[in-house]
Amino acid sequence: PPCRRRSPRGAGMHGGGGVNPAEVGTLSLEFHSLARATKRPEFDAGPDDVRRRMAATVTLLNSSLVPLSLKSSGGAHPSGRVSLGAMGDSYYEYLAKTAILDPRLRPTAGAMFKAALLEIEQQLLVPREHGRTFLAEASMNGRRGRPAGGASAAGAPRAPSDKPLFSKILKMDHLACFAGGMLAVGAQHGGEFDREYMTLAERIGETCYEFYRRTTSGLSPEFMSFVGGSDPKVPRNAAYNIGRPEAVETFFIMWYYTRDPKWREMGWEVFSSFERHARTPSGWAALKDVNNPAKLDDKMESFVLAETMKYLFLLFDSSYPIPLDKYVFNTEAHPLGTFDASAFTSAAPPKRR
């Protein structure tokens, strides 16, 4: 997998002791699109190698959920935190979208995504019968019958009972709200469980709306805690809002596929709250405390323009300028055109304007 930085003299690679799944899993869409646009297949090599290494890591762990700390040389111990929030999110997102972007990669990336979805449902999902449906985090605690860090004998196949042990952590990052949109995008291609995944996408979107509805400002905290009951609560260390886009991303995608007006209603409430409490003459400020909206922080993250405002615009633009059957959005909301198996050799280079 890639490392975080490279020596400016080219003397070597530096991983700072490890990398996380989001780091190694991101950029595949971009490099595959670059290979197609330039007709230089060497740009495919990096993400193809990362995908092979991640597939080997999944086999080693006997789990499609990978811990947030990976060795930069490849592999991981069956211990650590697992999350669809910070440091984990775009790894799973890009498995789904890589399979949609390039038919050549559907047998590999698509299969890895399906396997990950199954384990997400088994290990991270807290279903509606326990309150609001949400995606918890989990602690991976070694394997059944052996301590964390243990391994089977070299070359010995792993038995199904040798899967890692997981303990749920009852919190959900706002970052994980992207998963509603990810599920909806992945449920449009004739899969066996498409209907179930659309239902799950809807429930996750509804929970992410609650992140906003339950605060004084109508704006979401960084994460919610579900400990001690089914109603989400704002932990003191998560009370800030920096304008994250993941909830409105899911609102837009769910609106696009269902045309249910509730998604626009939710989006309008979120937009109105930003305008009411975060608006300044030069942009939307961050809030230090979503339950005390008078406390503003003098900054605006770049993703507020690149993603949050873009998804809100698309949610209310009835001309649908970016059809989701022809484009996928990368993790920074830039649309990339999908291509068929013959496009790499037959597509003409784009004309200069």
Residues serving a catalytic function are: 222
| Cα–Cα distances in angstroms (integers) from residue 203 to residues 176, 218, 304, in the given order | 13, 19, 25
- Token couple for 99: 């399979």
User: How far is it, in rounded angstroms, from Cα 55 to Cα 62?
Assistant: 10
**Strands, E assignment, 176-285:** 223-225, 279-280, 283-284
User: How far is it, in rounded angstroms, from Cα 138 to Cα 125?
Assistant: 10
DSSP 8-state symbol, 233:
B
Q: Which of 329, 278, 269, 331 is nearest to 303 (CA)?
A: 331
Q: Which of 173, 196, 335 is nearest to 252 (CA)?
A: 335
User: How far is it, in rounded angstroms, from Cα 311 to Cα 246?
Assistant: 9
Rg over CA atoms, the chain: 21
Mark residue 329 as left, alpha or beta (left: phi above 0; alpha: psi -120 to 50; beta: remaining).
Answer: beta
For residue 151, the one-letter residue type is A
Q: Which helix (DSSP H) or strand (DSSP E) does residue 302 occupy?
A: helix 302-303
Q: Which helix (DSSP H) or strand (DSSP E) does residue 221 occupy?
A: none
